[in-house]
Structure 1
């Protein structure tokens, strides 16, 4: 499911995947361009005041740019965070990418339990075969019950590694 589209993707090999990701307005490359232009403008103004005798403006301008740069680095590090849930060949693979770290769990679709952690608006917990992983971080809380229902329906319709209704000769 794309967080915006709300539909699972079907690949050519018959697998189904849901891609849940942050809705970021700026890519990290665009963010770097904005930051670079902010640096140029801020340092140009600070240089003008420094040349006219206000010597403390320059250190404060550098401190400001360092703090803003650190905040933008944190943002850029998490801009690509996502959850990828793939149903293929009789197995369910869940990957959660968070700040460069990957948490991965594999399940057999027939044995997966799909439950909210605490209530209807909490994260969705997928568990089975001794593994548990929470998904739905990048979906609005009021849409998580619908996503959980979609998971349950899809997992029930996945007999023997293929989507129900799909041509078995494929």
Structure 2
């Protein structure tokens, strides 16, 4: 099971992303924009409504409401700590989602479990790098559509993909 393999790092990253929302404002303004307008998961994209999300994914396995900043997380998976995907919804709109498994219809989900070179081949070389809770992050910004996609790594392997509004 992936959770046992990556252990504490994986659980810590998930908890920080759920509670803190994953800080995606650390991207380098000098990095050239990457078109992410068509990035969606099973028809859901940033800005989709809560109703569209429920229609596409069904009733969530877990729901967590956060008071500050006010948001609701719709979590799909075995447990709220070891899940397949979660969505952050603010004011009835999807503002970000985080995938940990390649089981969804998505342009980039097949890169989960793959290496950094695979990400570079598919997404391109206009990226920024940062660290978050001990994990390496490789991100791409779409400045025209105000969104990011970030690939979270342990070593050279993609553990998850975060898509968020800037």
TM-score (norm. length: structure 2): 0.22
Comparing both chains, which one has the higher relative contact order based on Cα–Cα distances under 8 Å and sequence gaps of 6 or more? Answer: 2
Larger radius of gyration: 1
